[in-house]
């Protein structure tokens, strides 16, 4: 008998404890990112290009639109901001639609609606016609904003969920940059054509999106909810880091969907009573939530509210106006400076994407908002100095441009991508579509209000005064994130309920981990450790609460 055989016979079988220790081995390399899940997340997140392009292109189109049609600042503000209000209809409809026809075909529908809207805007003959195009475009954007993070979160393995679920924000930034470049490219055309090309050319990305979606699988969680277990198994085997993780994810999804764990059939008839109706979902979210659901709702809505209330869309949409206030009067130079802002924003979002699963959500979020506070207040101070000066102050102009870049850079390393990641993670499966829709709705309403009223507010209290207001809101946001948002890195989606069930706001502060430790000890004593599995860089167990607050 060989030495290797003797050694194998003499070694004791691995215990649960030894597996856990192996999982925490720092020398053990994390699994490689799943290429198929990466491709699926990329294609789904391309829907976010639609919103990004619209945001970016409107910042330049309104310059030439105002010159061509001689419309007022109030009409400009309504035209820019109303799309975010129209997004509400698409966002709320997308939750029900995605549960009905599936996540994949909802993405196709989003692209088709945006295609029609872009053409309507490009061929608009008057302000009312243009508003109809904005309405249709807003519906498509609402669909896209809701479905991209949901689908991406549901196909991503836990080891790279933060990385992949941040893709929608990456593509929003890519779309913004494309919009800025489009503005610069078409700015040399005659005034009556330039804005039409800027808006109408946005129909092209939606065509490529519809074609690309055909190569994507359906969400395994949606398939299980429909009783299509065989199809769900096939998808999970392709998008998981290991067969063991695929089996674990299937078991957890089945449990959440109310399907018996021992069921091994390819088709299972899911009882309608086990799938909550839309009304029941809204009732659980708002009127009769459990403590865990209530905390998830506060976190999911709060992060969306503060993302927009900090004034990021005012910076992105009205950057040419901000540069005009800073002393740059040439329209083409304003657009050129705006392109530089778009490049900075895109570069920093790419950096953040690769750090989400390494450092976690909370550290990046708090660092991001802290940087925004400093940059926004400095920008406000610079604009105020320029506003009260009777001559051109070169250093203040340079500082304004630098601080605009600093605001978007700080936003992009945390608050930008993490908002979409976090809100798509925290809701349980039965509430996820509607919960995410609700977060997107809040996001768009706040963005719309700021977009519509930024110009009147600037006239009333000056542009610098408006940014002092945004800086104050950002300070409140920092304390909200510190106290109400627990760390979600490394947890499975089905395990989030336990995190919010045990989370208390005091545990957010350093040194207050006693409650978590107590909960961990209590749950470990139950002996129910069968669901431990290696998930990338972090070992996750559905029986131990995360104390990384």
Q: What is the pLDDT of residues 165-180, one digit of tens each?
A: 777 778 888 898 999 9
What's the pLDDT at 274? Answer: 52
Q: What is the CATH number of the domain that holds 367?
A: 1.20.1250.20
Q: Note whether residue 29 is domain-resident.
A: no
Q: How many domains does the chain have?
A: 1
The reply to whether 349 falls in a domain is yes
- pLDDT, residue 344, reads 92
pLDDT of residue 276: 54
Q: What is the mean pLDDT of residues 294-315?
A: 91
pLDDT score recorded for residue 523: 43
What distance in Å separates the CA atoms of residue 147 and residue 134, rounded to the nearest whole number? 20
Distance CA 45, CA 152 (A): 7
**Looking at residue 533, what is its pLDDT?**
37
Please report, rounded to a whole number, the percentage of residues in the chain having pLDDT higher than 90. 26
- Residue 190 domain-assigned (yes or no): yes
The pLDDT tens digits of the residues spanning 360-413 come to: 788 889 999 999 999 999 999 999 998 888 777 888 888 998 999 999 999 998
| Band of pLDDT at residue 520, cut at 50, 70 and 90 | very low
349: CB partners within 8 A, 6+ apart: 166, 169, 170, 173, 412, 413, 416, 417
DSSP state of 494: G
Does residue 509 belong to any structural domain of this protein?
no
Those residues with Cβ within 8 angstroms of residue 68's Cβ, 6 or more apart along the chain or in another chain: 191, 192, 195
C-beta of residue 170 within 8 angstroms of C-beta of residue 350: yes
Average pLDDT, the chain: 80
- State what percent of residues in the chain have pLDDT above 70: 82
Q: What would the pLDDT profile of 195-254 be if each residue is shown by its tens digit? A: 999 999 988 888 888 788 878 899 998 998 888 899 999 999 988 888 888 888 888 888
pLDDT value at 505 more than 70: no
Q: Across residues 276-286, what is the average pLDDT?
A: 71
Residue 21 confidence (pLDDT)? 35
Are residues 130 and 114 in contact, defined by beta-carbon separation less than 8 angstroms?
Answer: no
Tell me how far the alpha carbon of residue 248 is from its chain's centroid: 26
Are 511 and 452 in contact by the 8 Å Cβ rule? The answer is: no
pLDDT at residue 535, rounded to an integer: 36
- The Cβ of residue 8 has, within 10 Å, a number of other Cβ atoms equal to 9
Domain that holds residue 389: 35-221+278-484
User: Burial, 188: exposed, middle or buried (Cβ in 10 Å; 0-12, 13-18, 19+)?
Assistant: exposed
Q: Is residue 426 part of a domain?
A: yes
Q: What is the pLDDT of residue 45?
A: 82
With respect to residue 244, please indicate whether it lies within any of the assigned structural domains: no
In this predicted structure, what is the pLDDT of residue 95?
80
Distance between CA atoms of residues 223 and 81, nearest Å: 37
Q: What is the DSSP string of 261-278?
A: TT---S-----GGGS--H
Query: 193 or 23: whose pLDDT is higher?
Result: 193
Q: Quick count: other Cβ atoms within 10 Å of Cβ 28? A: 11
Residue 308 inside a domain? The answer is yes
Q: What is the pLDDT of residue 526?
A: 43
pLDDT at 352 (0 to 100): 79
Question: Is the Cα torsion angle 344, 346, 349, 354 positive or negative in sign?
Answer: negative
pLDDT of residue 200: 92
451 beta partners: none
Q: What is the mean pLDDT of residues 51-61?
A: 88
Cα 232 from Cα 495, distance rounded (Å): 19
For residue range 419-448, list pLDDT tens digits in order.
878 887 888 777 877 888 788 788 888 998
Q: For residue 399, is it within any domain?
A: yes
More confident site: 148 or 24? 148
């Amino acid at each position: 008998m060989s030495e290797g055989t003797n050694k194998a016979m003499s070694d004791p079988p691995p215990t649960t404890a030894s597996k856990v220790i192996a999982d925490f081995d720092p020398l053990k390399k994390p699994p490689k990112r799943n290429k198929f899940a990466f491709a699926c997340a990329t294609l789904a997140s391309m829907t976010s290009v639609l919103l990004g392009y619209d945001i970016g292109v409107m910042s330049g189109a309104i310059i030439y639109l105002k010159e061509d049609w001689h419309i007022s600042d109030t009409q400009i503000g309504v035209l820019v901001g109303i799309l975010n209000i129209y997004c509400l209809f698409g966002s709320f409809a997308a939750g029900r639609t995605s549960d009905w026809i599936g996540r994949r075909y909802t993405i196709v529908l989003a692209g088709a609606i945006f295609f029609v809207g872009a053409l309507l805007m490009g061929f608009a003959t008057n302000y009312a016609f243009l508003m109809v195009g904005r309405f249709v475009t807003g519906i498509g954007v609402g669909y896209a904003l809701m479905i991209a993070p949901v689908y991406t979160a549901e196909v991503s393995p836990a080891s790279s969920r933060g990385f992949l679920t941040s893709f929608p924000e990456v593509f929003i930034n890519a779309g913004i940059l494309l919009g800025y470049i489009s503005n610069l490219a078409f700015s040399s055309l005659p005034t009556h054509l330039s804005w039409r090309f800027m808006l109408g050319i946005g129909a092209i990305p939606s065509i490529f999106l519809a074609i690309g979606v055909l190569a994507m699988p359906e969400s395994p969680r949606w398939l299980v909810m429909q009783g299509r277990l065989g199809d769900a198994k096939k998808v999970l085997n392709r998008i998981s880091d290991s067969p063991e993780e695929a089996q674990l994810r299937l078991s957890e999804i089945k449990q959440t969907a109310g399907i018996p764990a021992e069921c091994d059939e390819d088709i299972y008839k899911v009882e309608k009573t086990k799938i909550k109706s839309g009304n029941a979902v809204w009732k659980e979210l708002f009127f009769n939530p459990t403590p865990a659901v209530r905390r998830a709702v506060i976190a999911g809505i709060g992060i969306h509210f503060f993302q927009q209330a900090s004034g990021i869309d005012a910076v992105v949409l009205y950057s040419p106006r901000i540069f005009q206030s800073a002393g740059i009067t040439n329209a083409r130079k304003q657009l050129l400076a705006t392109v530089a802002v778009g490049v900075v924003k895109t570069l920093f979002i790419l950096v953040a994407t690769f750090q989400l699963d390494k450092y976690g959500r909370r550290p990046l979020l708090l660092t991001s908002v802290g940087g925004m506070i400093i940059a926004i207040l400095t920008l406000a101070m610079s604009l105020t100095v320029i506003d009260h000066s009777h001559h051109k102050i070169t250093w203040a102009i340079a500082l304004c441009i630098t601080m605009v870049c600093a605001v978007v850079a700080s936003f992009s390393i945390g608050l930008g991508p993490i908002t979409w990641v976090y809100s798509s993670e925290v809701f349980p499966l039965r509430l996820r579509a509607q919960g995410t829709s609700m977060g997107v709705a809040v996001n768009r309403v706040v963005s719309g209000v700021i977009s519509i009223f930024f110009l009147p507010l600037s006239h009333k209290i000056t542009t610098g005064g408006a940014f002092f207001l945004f800086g104050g809101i950002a300070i409140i946001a920092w304390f909200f994130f510190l106290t109400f948002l627990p760390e979600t890195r490394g947890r499975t989606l089905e395990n989030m309920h336990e995190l919010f069930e045990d989370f208390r706001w005091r545990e957010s502060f350093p040194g207050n981990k006693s409650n978590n430790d107590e909960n961990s000890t209590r749950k470990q004593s139950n002996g129910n450790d069968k669901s431990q599995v290696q998930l990338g860089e972090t070992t996750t167990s559905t029986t131990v609460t995360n104390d990384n607050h």
